[in-house]
Structure 1
Amino acid sequence: MNTIVKQIEECLTTEENVIYYFRIQNYHRGLREYQLFSSAFQQLIHLLVNSQQLLDGYDVDFDYVLTMLQGIIQAQESRDYILTADLLELQVKPFLLGIQEWLLGQFNVCPEDEIWEDNLNNLTQKDKTLADQIIKKQLTGMHCEVEPTSSGLFTLKVMDGMGERYMHSNVNPVEEADMFAREYYSTDYSRYIIFGLGLGYHIDALLNLDDGIEIEIIEPDMEIIKTALASRRMNWLMGNMRVRLVYDPDFTKLARSLEEDSRLIIHYPSLLHIQDERMRLALEKYFIRDSGKRNMAIAFENNFRENVINCSNYVDELEPMFKGKNAVIVAAGPSLDKNVRLLKGKPDNTIIVAVGTVFHKLMGLGITPDCVVFLDAQCNMTQQIKGLENELVPIVCASTAYKGIAMNYKGPKYLICQKGYDRAEQYAMEHQVRTYETGGSVSTIALDMCLQLGCREIAYIGLDLAFTGNRTHANDTACVKDAPDEDVLSVESTDGKMVSSSRLFMIYREWIERRVQQVDAEGRVYDATEGGAKKKGLITKSLHELFDKWNNGNVDD
C-alpha cells in the first residue's frame, strides 16, 4: 500500500510541474517534466493492475484511464500544451486524488521507522554539534502532529497557546512549496536565511530552483526539528554543504539576521508559532514590509519610469523655501478636524507641508499648503488631485508614487528619490541629488524631507497613528472610513489612556521615534496632534502654543 501511495505522490508532483511549465510557456522544461510524469504514471498503472485485492472496495475504471491517456497523448503530440495542461488538471489529478484519499481512509499511513535513524546518522556526519543538541534535548510536552494529506504527503500540525494551525497544505505540500519558492527566489541573491523549518518542503523547493544558493534555516522549536527528521528524508539538507540548520531557541541568530544583507524569508506559519511576543511582533513588522515590497515591485518600476520623465524638478530645489522655516506637516488622522482651521493664522515664518490625502480638505477650507507630498504607488491616488490638477501648489512625488499624479497635475512637480529602492538610489547618484528615508508612509517621508531641507522646527497635526473615534482618517479626506475590526492593537494615547491602533501604524510610529533621536532632529519635532497614539521623543505641544512660540521667534516661554 505504501508503494502505491508514494507512486501517486510522484505522479501528483510531476503532473503539477508539467501544468506549471506549460502554462508559462516553458515548453522545454515542461516536456522534460512530462516525460517524468509519463514514466511515473505508467508505473502506477502497473501497480494498480497488480493490486486488485488491496483495492477491493474501490473501482478503478481502467477503460476510463485508457481514454484519458489517449486524449493527453493526442494533445501532446499535436503540441496543444494548453489542452494537455487542462486534461492533466481536470482528469488526471482528480483520478489520482480519488485513489489516494480512499487508500488513506482505509489504511493508517505513518512515516517509515528508519527515517529518523537515517537522518540523524547523516546529520551527525555533517553537523555533529547540532546532532548532539537534538539527541540531548528532552522535550517537556508534545505539541506537534504529523498528518497525511489528500496527496499522500505529510503535513505538520502544531498546537500552542494560540490554538492549532498547519505548517503546510493539507492537499499537496509540494505544490504549495513550489509556489512559495517561485515567489521568493531572486537571481539577485546567492544566500538566503529562512525562518521556520516545518517539514522542509519550502526549502527543498527553493533548492530545486537553484541548487547553487546557500541557505541557513533558523528554527527555535526543537520538537519541530525532531518531528521533521522523523517524518521526511532530508536529503536536501544532509547532502548539501551549502544548507545549514540552526537551532535558535533564544532568537539570538534571528535577531542578527534582521540586520544582515542576506535575503531573509519568513515562513509565516512558523512566525505565528513564536511564543515570544516581542520577537513575533518584530518579525511581523518585517513580514509586512517585505510583503509590501514584493506586492508593489512591478508598480514601482512602472511608476518610476514615468515619474522621472514627468517631474521636471527635484525636491532639493525647494531648500530655500524650507531652510530656517518652521513647518507643520498636515497628516490625515481623525483628530485633524480639531485644529486644522488654526492653520489659517499660521506665523509668517511657517510653511504647511500636506500629505496628498488632505489636499482637497485644505483647499476646501481656504488653506493653501506650501507643498503636497505623494508616496503611495496605487492607482486610486488620482482621487487626491481630482479637480485640483490646475493648481499652482508645488507637489513632491516619490519616485515610485502612482504615475498618474505627475502625469495629470499641471502645476510644479518635484521628484523625491527614496533610500532603499535601487532604481531611485541609482538615479540620485547619477544626478548628484539627495535620497530620503520613507519610513513606509507619506507622513514619515515628509518628516525626513523637512529635516534634510533645513527646517528649524517641525510639528505634526493629524498624526493619530490610531483609530481615534473609531475612524481611520479625518472628514473630507480621500480615505475616510470606519476602523477595521481585525488586526487591531491597543497602544498608549497622548492622554495616557489606551487607543486602538494597527501594526502598520506601529511601524510608522516606531520609525518616527527612531528618526527624531538622530542629531539633526533632536528637540526639534513636535506632536500637535489632538489625540491618537503617544510618540516617544516628540515634544507634545498644542498648535496654538506652537504658533505663539514661533511668533515670538522660536523662544520658549
Structure 2
Amino acid sequence: MRFEISIARDGNQTLNVNGIHIYSKYKPKDHAASFIEKELDLDAEGYLLLGLGLGYHLKAITKRIRNKKIYILCVDKQEEKIFEKSYIYEEIIKMSNIIIIYDPKDIKMNNNFQVIIPNAWLQVLNNEHPLFNFLADIKIKQESYSGQKNLLAENFRNNLLLNDQNIINYLSNTKVGNKLACLVASGPSLNETKNWLKKVRSQLYIFCVGSALKVLLEEDIEPDGVVISDPKMNIVQQLEGTDYSGILFYLSTANHIAISRYKHTKYILFQNGYKRAEELAARHNIPLVETGGSVATTGFSTLELLGFDKVILFGQDLGFKESYTHASFSTSGRRISTKENLLKIISNNEEEIYTTPNLHSYLKWFNLKIRNSNIKVYNTALNGASISNADFINENEFYNLVNLTK
C-alpha cells in the first residue's frame, strides 16, 4: 500500500492511502471527530476500530471512552510506522486499554462490542485483501442494525407482551423422533426440488422460512414449522392470504404486526447478539439461537436446538445461475440487474454462478457453522452455491437417504 502524509489546510497532518483520503484535506481531526461522534455507542462493552492511520479516529474515541478495551485492526504492516510520525502518537500509545492488531483471530470480543469502520478504509481494501470479506460482512450487519435499532426495540417490547411460549416449551411438548429435518428456503432451485418432498412427506420434518411458505402451500405441502425473522412490515405478506395454521417460530425482534395477526400456535426465539434477548434468556435459562443474518441461518440454528442430527437443505442457493434470486411464488423474489456489484462463486454443478454481498455473507456463515457442528448436512441445490461440508444429493440419493432413516 502507498501511504502519503501531507499537511491539511488547517495545518494538521492528513493521510492519503492508495490515492484515497482517509481524513479531510481541510480539517482532518474535526472530520474524524465528527464521524466518531455520530457512530460511537457509549453503551458498548468495547470497540473494534478499522484502521490506525494517524490515530485521529482513535483519539476521538479515547476522548469519550476511558477504560473500555479498544482494538485497532490495521490494514497494513506500515501503519504503526505511519502512526509513529503522528503528532498524537506519544499521547495515545501509553494507554493500556488500546490493543493494536493485524489479524482478526487476535480479537477477543463478544457481540456487545461495537465495530467502527470508517468508509475510507473500506474503500482502500480491494477484493483480494484478506480483510475485505471479514469487514464487508461486518459492515452489512452493522448498517442493517443501526438503521433498524428503534424498530428492533419496538418489536421486541411488543412481542414480549404476547406472552407466547418459547423453544423450551416446544421441546417439552413435541417429539420429533428420528425424522430427517428439511430446511426449506426460497432459492431458485426450489422450483425443481419442491416435488421431492411430496412423495415422502410423512417421513420428514419440514421446517421452512416464511418466504417459502406459499411455494410449499401451492404444492399442498404443509410444513411442520415456519420461521420468520424480518423486523419490517413487508413480512406480513409471508403469512397473509394463506390457510396455514401450523406452528410459527419467530425471532424476538420480528415484525410485531405480522406476529400479532397470526392467531395459531407461536413460539418466540431469543437470539444471540441482541442484548435484550440475551439478558431475558439468561434470566430464564432459555437457549439462544444464532441468527447468522438471515432467516435461513436462524432456521438452521433452530433445528440444531431441536436436536436433529441430519438436515437436508432445499432452496438454499445462496447464489443464482440466471437473474432470479428466488423460486416462483416466493414472497422475496426479485430480478438482479447486471449492473449490481455481484461476486462469482462455484456451484454444486462446478460452474461459476453469481451471488450478492449479503448472500455471500450467509454462505460463509453456513461454511463455518456446519464445519463446527455435529449435524450432517445435505444440499439439493444443483445450481446453487457449494457449501463446505454439505454433500450435494440428487433426487434418487434423497429418496435413498429418507429410506435409510426410517
TM-score higher than 0.5 here?
Answer: yes
Match of 1:453 in 2: 306
1:526 pairs with 2:378: yes
Question: Corresponding residue for 1:178?
Answer: 33
In 1, the alpha carbon distance for the partners of 2:97 and 2:220 equals 62
Larger RCO of the pair (alpha carbons < 8 Å, separation 6+): 2
TM-score, length-scaled by structure 1: 0.65
Shift of 1:271: 3.8
Equivalent position of 1:295 in the other structure: 147
Contact map agreement 2:8 2:27 (CA 8 A) in 1: no
Letter in 1 for 2:227: V
Whole-angstrom distance in 1 between the partners of 2:259 and 2:133 = 36
Q: How do residues 75-154 of structure 1 correspond to structure 2 at under 5 angstroms?
A: 143-146=3-6, 148=8
Q: Give TM-score scaled by structure 2 length.
A: 0.87
Q: What RMSD over aligned residues (CA atoms) do the two structures have, in Å?
A: 2.9
Which residue does the alignment assign to 1:304?
A: 156
1:305-324 to structure 2, matched below 5 A, reads 305-310=157-162, 312-319=164-171, 320-324=174-178
Secondary structure (helix, strand or coil) at the match of 2:401 reads helix
- Give 1:435-454 correspondences, 5 Å limit: 435-454=288-307
Percent of pairs with identical residues: 25
| Residue aligned with 1:516, SS | helix
* C-alpha spacing 1:179/1:372, structure 2 compared with 1 (3 Å): farther
The match for 1:198 among 50, 53, 59 is 53
Question: 2:206 aligned with 1:355, yes or no?
Answer: no
The Cα shift of 1:196 comes to 0.7
Residue 532 of structure 1: CA displacement? 0.9
What do the CA deviations read for 1:503-544 (whole angstroms, capped 9, x no partner)? 3222222222232234531xx321112321101111211245
Higher gyration radius (CA):
1
Deviation at 1:321, TM superposition (A): 4.8
Pairwise CA distance, 1:322: 2.8
1:166-214 Cα deviation digits (max 9, x unpaired): 2123464445423432344333346434231233332222233345555
Deviation at 1:337, TM superposition (A): 0.9
The 1:222/1:546 distance shift into structure 2, 3 A limit, reads closer
Deviations along 1:281-335, one digit per CA (max 9) or x if unpaired, are 2232233333333333322221111122225222333332534221221111112
2:290 partner amino acid: E
* Mapped pair 1:158 → 2:7: no
CA contact (8 A) 2:222 2:244 kept: no
CA contact (8 A) 1:334 1:471 kept: yes
Q: Give the match for residue 369 of structure 1.
A: 223
Q: Is the 8 A contact 2:41 2:114 kept in 1?
A: no
Which blocks of at least 5 consecutive residues in structure 2 are unaligned?
A: none
Farther-moved stretch of structure 1 (418-427 vs 472-481): 418-427
* Within-5 A mapping of 1:32-431: 143-146=3-6, 148=8, 155-159=14-18, 164-170=19-25, 172-189=27-44, 191-211=46-66, 213=68, 215-221=70-76, 224-226=79-81, 230=85, 232-234=87-89, 236-237=91-92, 241-242=95-96, 244=98, 246=100, 251-252=102-103, 254-257=104-107, 259-261=108-110, 263-274=114-125, 277-310=129-162, 312-319=164-171, 320-388=174-242, 391-431=244-284
Q: How much has 1:225 moved relative to structure 2?
A: 4.9
The structure in which a higher percent of residues are strand is 2
* Distance verdict in 2 for CA 1:220–1:415, change over 3 Å: closer
Q: Which has the higher helix share?
A: 1
The aligned counterpart of 1:463 is 316
Aligned-partner Cα distance in 1 for 2:182–2:45:
45
CA contact (8 A) 1:316 1:453 kept: no
Cα distance change on mapping 1:414 and 1:181 into 2, 3 Å? same
One-letter code aligned to 2:15: L
Gaps of 5+ in 1: 1-140
CA distance in 1, matches of 2:39, 2:300: 32
For 1:207 and 1:143, locate their aligned partners in 2 and report how far apart those are by CA, in whole Å: 24
